Amino acid sequence: MEAMHELNDVVDGAYIPQDVSSFIRNEEDASSFFTRFSVVIITQMGSIDPTVQCISSACFRANVPVLLVRANGLVGFLRVQAREVCILDAKDDAAAPDLRLHSPFKELEEFASKFNFNEIQDTTVLSHIPFVVILVQAIAQYRKQHGGQLPSSRPQKEEFKEVVKSIRPSCCPDAAENFEEALKGSNLRLCYASAREVPSSTRAVFCDAKSNPITVSGLQPESCDSSQLGRKGAFPEAIRYVKLSKASSTTLAESESNLVQGGSTIAGAARIANDCRVFWLHVAAIRDFMERFGCLPLQGSLPDMAADTESYVSLQKLYSSKARDDARIVAQCVNEIADRHAVDAEDFDEESVRLFCKNASSLRVYRTKSIVEEIESRGKGGFKAAAEMDGALDASQNGTAAPYYALLRAADQFRLEHGREAGSVAEMREADDSLICEYLSAVKEDIGIPGTALLWRDQATEMVRYAGSELHNVCAFMGGIAAQEVTKILTRQFMPLDNTLIVNFAQQTSVTFAA
Amino acid sequence: MQSTSSPGQPPPDVPGWSPGGSLWGGLGHLLRHSSPLSQQLSPEAAADTESFLRTQCKLLIIGAGGLGCELLKNAALSGFRDIHVIDLDTIDLTNLNRQFLFRTKDVGEPKATVAADFVNNRIPGANVTPYHANIMDFDKDFYRQFHLVIAGLDSIDARRWLNAMLYSLVERDDEGNPVQETIIPLIDGGTEGFQGQARIIIPSLSSCFECTLSLFPPAKNFPLCTIANTPRLPEHCIEYANAVLWDKMKPFGNSKLDTDKPEHTNWLFEQAKERADHFGIKGVTYRLTQGVAKNIIPAVASSNAIVAAACANEAVKMITSIANNMDNYMMYNGRYGVYTYTYRNEKRPDCPVCGAPALVKVTAKGESTLAEFLETIAGHPELRSRKPFLRTSTGKTLYAAAPAHLRKATEGNLDKKLEDLISSNMELTLSDKDLPFIRTVYVSFI
Ligand SMILES: [Zn+2]
Instruction: Per residue of chain B (446 residues), give pLDDT as tens.
Output: 333 333 333 343 333 333 334 445 689 889 989 899 988 888 888 999 999 999 999 999 999 999 999 999 999 999 999 999 999 999 988 889 899 999 999 999 999 999 999 999 999 999 999 999 999 999 999 999 999 999 999 888 899 999 999 999 999 999 888 999 999 999 999 999 999 999 999 999 999 999 999 888 777 778 888 888 889 999 999 999 988 899 889 898 888 888 777 788 899 999 999 999 999 999 998 888 988 887 777 789 999 999 999 999 999 999 999 999 999 999 999 999 999 999 999 999 999 999 888 888 999 999 999 999 998 888 888 888 888 999 998 888 999 988 888 888 898 999 999 999 999 899 999 988 877 678 889 999 98
The predicted complex's ipTM stands at 0.91
Query: Is B153 contained in some domain?
Result: yes
pLDDT, residue A66, reads: 98
Do both B141 and B290 map to the same domain? no
Do both B189 and B83 map to the same domain? yes
Do both B309 and B287 map to the same domain? no
Identify all chain B residues contacting A7, using CB atoms and an 8 Å cutoff: 100
Residue A225 above 50 pLDDT?
Answer: no
Task: Say which DSSP state A145 is in.
Answer: H
| Optimal mutation site among B3, B98, B327, interface A, most CBs of chain A within 10 A | B3
Do both B185 and B306 map to the same domain? yes
Say how far apart CA A74 and CA A462 lie, in whole Å: 9
Do both B369 and B433 map to the same domain? yes
Give the residue on A whose Cα is nearest the Cα of B316: A473
Cβ-contact B421, B150 below 8 angstroms: no
pLDDT, residue B24, reads: 55
Do B33 and A398 count as a contact with CB atoms less than 8 A apart?
no
Distances (CA, A) of A189 to A228, A303, B184, B428: 54, 16, 51, 45
Distance from CA of B399 to the nearest CA of A (A): 32
Mean pLDDT, rounded, for A269-283: 93
* Mean of per-residue pLDDT scores for chain A: 89
Which residue from A140, A195, A194 is spatially nearest to A164, judged by alpha carbons? A140
Helix intervals (H) in A420-471? 429-446, 457-466
Distances (CA, A) of A274 to A126, A265, A310, A348, B265: 53, 12, 44, 11, 42
Q: Pick from B268, B294, B320: which residue ends a domain?
A: B294
Cβ-contact B445, B363 below 8 angstroms: yes
Cβ-contact A501, A69 below 8 angstroms: no
**Pairing verdict, β A75-81 and A500-504:** antiparallel
Q: Does residue B8 sit at the A interface (CB-CB below 8 Å)?
A: no
Which residue from B186, B226, B189, B223 is spatially nearest to B67, judged by alpha carbons? B189
pLDDT, residue A231, reads: 54
pLDDT, residue A348, reads: 76
Q: Pick from B270, B294, B318: which residue ends a domain?
A: B294
Do both B120 and B208 map to the same domain? yes
Say how far apart CA A264 and CA A151 lie, in whole Å: 51
Before B328, cis peptide (omega within 30)? yes
Mean pLDDT, rounded, for A465-490: 96
Dist. CA B204 → ligand 1 center (Å): 8
SS (H, E, C) chain B: CCCCCCCCCCCCCCCCCCCCCCCCHHHHHHHCCCCCCCCCCCHHHHHHHHHHHHHCCEEEEECCCHHHHHHHHHHHHCCCCEEEEECCCECCHHHCCCCCCCCHHHCCCEHHHHHHHHHHHHCCCCEEEEECCCHHHCCHHHHHCCCEEEEECCCHHHHHHHHHHHHHCCCECCCCCECHHHCCCEEEEEEECCEEEEEEECCCCCCCCHHHHHHCCCCCCCCHHHHHHCCCCHHHHHHHHHHHHHHHHCCCCCCCCCCCCHHHHHHHHHHHHHHHHHHCCCCCCHHHHHHHHCCCCCCCHHHHHHHHHHHHHHHHHHHHCCCCCCCCEEEEECCECCEEEEECCCCCCCCCCCCCCCCEEEEECCCCEHHHHHHHHHHCCCCCCCCEEEEECCCCEEEECCCHHHHHHHHHHHHCEHHHHCCCCEEEEEEECCEEEEEEEEEEEC
A 10 A CB-CB count for A92 gives 17
Query: Is B95 contained in some domain?
Result: yes
Distance from CA of B421 to the nearest CA of A (A): 30
Do both B131 and B194 map to the same domain? yes
pLDDT, residue B7, reads: 35
pLDDT, residue A364, reads: 96
The residue segments making up the domain with residue B432 are 360-445
Dist. CA B322 → ligand 1 center (Å): 28
Query: Is B148 contained in some domain?
Result: yes
Say how far apart CA A275 and CA B51 lie, in whole Å: 56
pLDDT digits 0-9 by tens, A66-84? 999 999 999 999 999 999 9
Cβ-contact A64, A368 below 8 angstroms: no
Query: Is B378 contained in some domain?
Result: yes
Q: Pick from B294, B321, B351: which residue ends a domain?
A: B294
Do A467 and B19 count as a contact with CB atoms less than 8 A apart?
yes
| A 315-334 residues with CB < 8 A to B | none
Do both B85 and B197 map to the same domain? yes
Dist. CA B152 → ligand 1 center (Å): 19
pLDDT digits 0-9 by tens, A184-195? 999 999 999 999
Do both B95 and B120 map to the same domain? yes
For residue B103, the domain's CATH number is: 3.40.50.720
Distance from CA of A170 to the nearest CA of B (A): 24
Query: Is B195 contained in some domain?
Result: yes
Query: Is B154 contained in some domain?
Result: yes
How far the first Cα of chain A sits from its last, in Å, is 33
Do A512 and B337 count as a contact with CB atoms less than 8 A apart?
yes
Query: Is B30 contained in some domain?
Result: no
Say how far apart CA A279 and CA A283 lie, in whole Å: 6
Residue in B37, B306, B316 nearest the CB of A480: B306
Do both B118 and B256 map to the same domain? no
**Helix, strand, coil abundance in chain A, percent, nearest 5:** 50, 10, 40
pLDDT, residue B22, reads: 44
Do A483 and B7 count as a contact with CB atoms less than 8 A apart?
no
Query: Is B255 contained in some domain?
Result: yes
pLDDT digits 0-9 by tens, A292-321? 999 999 999 899 999 999 999 999 999 999
Say how far apart CA A74 and CA B197 lie, in whole Å: 19
Residue A252 above 70 pLDDT?
Answer: no
Do both B290 and B303 map to the same domain? no
Total number of domains in chain B: 3
Cα B282 from chain centroid? 35
Kindly provide the b/e burial profile for residues A467-501, where b requires at least 16 CB atoms within 10 angstroms of the residue's own CB.
Answer: bbbbbbbbbbbbbbbbbbbbbbbeebebbbbbbbb
Say how far apart CA B79 and CA A189 lie, in whole Å: 56
pLDDT, residue A507, reads: 94
pTM of structure = 0.89
Do both B237 and B178 map to the same domain? no
Confidence band, pLDDT 50/70/90 cuts, at residue A500: very high
Say how far apart CA B320 and CA B312 lie, in whole Å: 12
Q: Does residue B197 sit at the A interface (CB-CB below 8 Å)?
A: no
Dist. CA B212 → ligand 1 center (Å): 7
Distances (CA, A) of B275 to A156, A301, A308, A315, B291: 45, 21, 15, 19, 18
Determine the Cα angle at A22 with ends A16 and A25, to 5°: 120
| Optimal mutation site among B33, B70, B327, interface A, most CBs of chain A within 10 A | B33
Which residue from A124, A42, A53, A103 is spatially nearest to A374, judged by alpha carbons? A53
* Catalytic residue from among B57, B69, B211, B225: B225
Residue B190 main-chain phi, psi, to 5 deg: -150, 145
For residue B437, the domain's CATH number is: 3.10.290.20
Do A508 and B342 count as a contact with CB atoms less than 8 A apart?
yes
How far the first Cα of chain B sits from its last, in Å, is 73
Beta bridge partners of B433: none
Say how far apart CA A59 and CA A292 lie, in whole Å: 38
Q: Is B225 a catalytic residue?
A: yes
